[in-house]
Chain A
C-alpha cells in the first residue's frame, strides 16, 4: 500500500476523541477521527501497523490500531494504563483533542495467509494488534482455511471483548480457545498456560500461517511448541514491542539486533529474527 509521506515525518495531525470505552479495570479504547476530513479520507492502514498518539504537553506513545481497516471513518486504539503517557491518555474524555501520526511499520502477512489455515495466538493485551486481522479474515472468510484464535490472559478478569470471541466462535470453520493462568470459579475455559491447548489447534502444518503477539516469554514457548509440531520458521510471524520515540527508524531505541522494530517490524517472520529472539538484553 502506498503511504504518502508528509514533508516532516515528525509532526502529528489533530484528532478528536469520539468515544472512550472502558474495557477492563486498566484498559480502555479511544475511538478517534482526524479533525481534518481530508486527512481522514487520505488515511489508510494495514492490520498490524501502529500510530504514534500524542497527548498535548505530555508526549507520544506507539499504539497499534485495532479498528477495521475498511472503516474509513474512525480509528480505534486499545491502551493499557501503565506508564506516564498511557495513564494520562486514560483521562481523556469525548471531544478532547490529541495528535496522531502514522501508520508506521509493516503489518501481518495477509496475502501470504490466503488459502492457508491461520492460527492467531495472543497473550495479555496481545489481542489488540490482531483484532483487525481477525476482522479482515472474517470479512473474506472464503479466501482462508481453518481459523484458530487463541487468547491467553493472566487472570480471567483480564479478558476483554468476551462478546467478540463468542461471535467469532459461531463462524463456521473457526475455533476460539481462551485460557487464563488463574481462572475465577465461573471461568468456563481452560485454566493454565496458553501453550497447553496447542494440541487442540486444527491446522495443516504444511499449509498454515501463525501470527503471534504478546509477552515474549509466551511467544518463545509458543514458537518452541509450534516447531515441535512441524510448523516451519518461515510460517511463524511475531509482533515485537520495543521503546519507540520517533517511529521512523531514526531514534535508535527500538533496535533489535540489526532490525528497527518501528520500520522493519513490528511484525517479523520468525525465520528472520529467530537467531536473536529470546536473548536477554536485545
Chain B
C-alpha cells in the first residue's frame, strides 16, 4: 500500500523551491536540483506501483498461509507479471540520472564518515553480483543489512519497496515479487 503522506515533504520542497524562484522574478527560474530530482523520484515510485497493481490483477492476494508453495508461487507469479508489464524497463527509469547523482552523494558521504570498523560492518555480507532490471534477487545471496542511519538520509519508500546495497550498487527491490526494479552503480 502506498503511503502518499510520506512523499509530501519531498514534493513540498520542490514546490517551495519553484515558488521562491517565481516570486523572485527570474526569467530562468532557479531550481534546487536535488529537490527537483527527489520530487521527480517521488512521482516515479507511485507510477511503478500503479503498474504493479495492474500487473497483479487476477493474481490471488498474498495472505498468511500454512503452505509455503502458495507464498513462493505468488511471489513468482507477481514477478513474472511485473516483468511482462515493464518489459522495456531500463536502468534509470526510476532512479534517474539526477536521482542517482543525489543518492551517490548521500551514500558516499555517509561511507566516508564511517570509521574503518563502521565501513567494514556496512559492507559485511554484502552480495557481489551485477544487478539487472527485472532480475529476480538471487536466493544464493543474503539481503545485506541496510545501515539504519543511511536509511534515514534517503527518502522513505512505500511498503513493498526497499533499498538494498550490493558490492558497488544500490538497488531498488520489490519485496512482494523479489525482483530488482532499478539500480545505481558506483555508490561507494
| Chains A and B bind each other | no
- A-to-B contact residues, CB < 8 Å: none
